[in-house]
Structure 1
């Protein structure tokens, strides 16, 4: 059992909470039983190391079974060591190290997608993780990050996806004009979500959402830049029926993605 929180191996894991270490190593940090279990079940080939306290492994039977099925050895650690490695204040007794595995946008579009989410300069880790989770739940074929969006492998992003990161392809590091070109080449309609657009209720009745759709979402504070909006076939807003001043980006994105999922399955 590993019991020295200052050991070089433990410090190396802890450093993965920082972007510089992730860029240098090509690795990232996984925390919590849900994310680790999903990684073992769906992407076991990217898993490098798995650490757990004995009590945690007893508590999370699904994780223990997934580790056995994946042929993954579990390294037991003390609570103090686990706390030293974790990015969270109250870790749940399980931490893993995995290889980064971004997909290319070309591969996403090659699969004749019906629904994807394109994120332009989404900066909040929680928003990004939640949108990936919503895209997964809505049956989307992929997510593409453009511009200066937050690092996909930021620990807060990974936690917020609750395992959906391992279910659908996510592409990173692309410029928006090239992504939109690829979307159109794949016969997808680009719809921008922005408060300046027509109501989603009106668009729902046109039948356009039943077609292959690439939703474009912008920055949490600024939305999409004015010069970006003309690049989309339509600009659509989620109507507010109550007294709320605005809607959280991840919530609005979830509504848009599900509207398309409903239309394509009706």
Structure 2
């Protein structure tokens, strides 16, 4: 496959580097998704791809992946020094996607209509830990994540990288006041929470469960 590269300008690079900051992710409505597995999961999803950034010397990692993309977005090649301004990896795989953020769904509608299980996360401040929790949630069959206020941004590059692309297969609602929302969830889901003092085994769970 012959890949046609678009030119990378200083303005492009300046804009992309700003996506490390939550303020600019909100302002522009885009975030970075780095790594072969992450981008592969992105391609399988309905998230909108804005552009693909590649490191030419790592072509063996990403060439076939780009060829499989349904959405033929612009592909920009970066130098090693440019790449270091964006990458989270010490040993990069040489591919980063610029992804358009989705509009956050209505939480009340999600609670009422959701047929799947959800996991409720309270003040997860570390983006790497948040990404790992997203990955585990998908593995164990959860389809929705409710993320409390004062938590890390799930579009933080470290969170996206640690999720290994699981983010793109989940519905995430962030900035939630759990004091207000938990009573609503308890009406429609079997609510399970941890308790260090007393507790009962949660298994088997009904189909509509919410794990706190």
- Please state which band the TM-score falls in when normalised by the shorter chain: 0.7 to 0.9
Alpha-carbon shift at residue 107 of structure 1 (Å): 4.0
User: Would you say the 8 A contact 2:115–2:207 is kept in 1?
Assistant: no
Structure 2 gaps of 5+ residues are none
In 1, Cα distance between equivalents of 2:59 and 2:172: 30
Q: Does 1:41 align with 2:48?
A: no
In 1, Cα distance between equivalents of 2:158 and 2:107: 23
**Structure 1 residue aligned with 2:206, among 203, 210, 214?**
210
Q: Which residue of 2 aligns with 1:163?
A: 165
User: Would you say the 8 A contact 1:82–1:95 is kept in 2?
Assistant: no
* SS of 1:16 mapped into structure 2: helix
What TM-score, normalized by structure 2, do the two folds share?
0.85
Q: Does 1:86 align with 2:69?
A: no
What TM-score, normalized by structure 1, do the two folds share?
0.69
In 2, Cα distance between equivalents of 1:3 and 1:26: 22
Greater relative CO, 1 or 2 (CA 8 Å, sep 6+): 2
Alpha-carbon shift at residue 84 of structure 1 (Å): 2.4
Divergent runs of 4+, >3 A: 1-4, 87-90
Alpha-carbon shift at residue 50 of structure 1 (Å): 0.8
**Number of residue-to-residue matches in the alignment:** 207
Q: Does 1:75 align with 2:71?
A: no
Alpha-carbon shift at residue 56 of structure 1 (Å): 2.8
Q: 1:113 to 1:178 in 2, by over 3 A?
A: farther
In 1, Cα distance between equivalents of 2:173 and 2:89: 26
Pair member with larger Rg: 1
* SS of 2:68 mapped into structure 1: helix
User: Would you say the 8 A contact 2:55–2:80 is kept in 1?
Assistant: yes
Q: Which residue of 2 aligns with 1:181?
A: 183
In 2, Cα distance between equivalents of 1:59 and 1:124: 29
Point out the more displaced range, 22-31 or 49-58. 49-58
How well do the aligned residues superpose, as a CA RMSD in angstroms? 2.4
1:66-85 C-alpha deviation (Å, 9 max, x unpaired): 32x22223222222222222
In 1, Cα distance between equivalents of 2:50 and 2:72: 11
In 2, Cα distance between equivalents of 1:151 and 1:119: 12
User: Would you say the 8 A contact 2:143–2:169 is kept in 1?
Assistant: no
In 2, Cα distance between equivalents of 1:72 and 1:148: 34
Alignment of 1:104-253 (within 5 A): 104-185=106-187, 187-198=188-199, 200=201, 203-204=202-203, 207=204, 209-210=205-206, 212-216=208-212
Point out the more displaced range, 21-30 or 156-165. 21-30
Structure 1 gaps of 5+ residues are 217-266
User: Would you say the 8 A contact 2:147–2:173 is kept in 1?
Assistant: yes
Q: Does 1:21 align with 2:24?
A: yes
Q: Does 1:30 align with 2:33?
A: yes
User: Would you say the 8 A contact 1:38–1:166 is kept in 2?
Assistant: yes
User: Would you say the 8 A contact 2:61–2:93 is kept in 1?
Assistant: no
In 2, Cα distance between equivalents of 1:172 and 1:61: 34
